[in-house]
Amino acid sequence: MKAADLRGILTYIPSFRDKLFVLSVDSAVLEDERAASLFLDISVLRSLNIRVVLVHGASARIKKIATEMKVKVSNLDGLGVTDEPTLRVSERAANSYSHDILQNLADADLRGAVTNAVIAHPAGILGGVDQQWTGRVERVDTRFLETLLENGIIPVIPPMGVDGDGRTYRVNSDGVALEVAEALKAEKLIFLTGSGSLPMNGKKPAQLSVEEATDWLKKKKGDLSGEIASKLEHGLRACKEGVSRAHILDGLADDALLVELFSSEGVGTMVYADEYTEIRKALKKDVRSIMGLIGSSVAAEELAKRTRT
């Protein structure tokens, strides 16, 4: 982001102040040496009184730890069967990432806390196959998360869930981010991916309405990586359930988070539940508003006053 672009942030502050953003960060982003800059960007958000919840993935480190321990994992993303060895590796990987995140938050002079706010239940038997230690989100402890947020603490949520008996389950981070955003009535759900953003005829669409995203997903899902398709599906669901905006962006691109949020062009793809900035023909009902805007500009001497003749 250029220094001159920082002025643009001022136009967004009134609408973003005290709003809640849920950031879902892929493990590939956290593994990258540029991850530290993401936490500086989060520090900017907090300085503007934007509340932040951070959900993270774990698949990259699950794969690494499994190789070191010579464990054959049954799934990496929390969507397939999770056997007990895979669960143990997943716990270790998730805890390791959570610790790294807390360290990065501290380095950015931010406070964070790892939470067990995701209550899960066993996924059970799907298609005749026991999913074992794979879980599904049952509910989110919003009271706990709100208490942390009210005290200026960033909740850090790993891709693990617990049930009422203290048993731990592997859950998919995209699903966790969706459920957290819905439960907390977040303004934005932002996916920071480690595999680029959304392609569209060689270009990424800057904005998609819920209807456009639904249609596009039906037609183009086969052209997307599984990771990006999952982000779009969960972002779409979030918008249908009350989240105003869902964003998908390349978490490894320089200044991606700030440019996406504080510039009109952005760098990723935004799915929106209601009308956003768009160009259309003026209607008869718009005349009064247009005249009001013109009148204000004339009063401010930004436009010259002219007669109708």
Instruction: Write out residues in the chain with pLDDT < 50, as ranges.
Output: 3-4, 277-279
Of 27, 136, 129, residue with least CA distance to 74: 129
What pLDDT, on the 0 to 100 scale, is given for residue 281?
56
Give me the residue label for tokens 């989060």. 42
What pLDDT, on the 0 to 100 scale, is given for residue 175?
97
What pLDDT, on the 0 to 100 scale, is given for residue 205?
75
What pLDDT, on the 0 to 100 scale, is given for residue 168?
98
Any idea which fold 3-279 has? Carbamate kinase (3.40.1160)
What pLDDT, on the 0 to 100 scale, is given for residue 216?
82
Q: What is the pLDDT of residues 126-149, one digit of tens each?
A: 999 999 999 999 999 999 999 999
Sequence spans of domains, the chain: 3-279
What pLDDT, on the 0 to 100 scale, is given for residue 266?
82
- Tally of CB atoms within 10 A around 42: 24
What pLDDT, on the 0 to 100 scale, is given for residue 199?
62
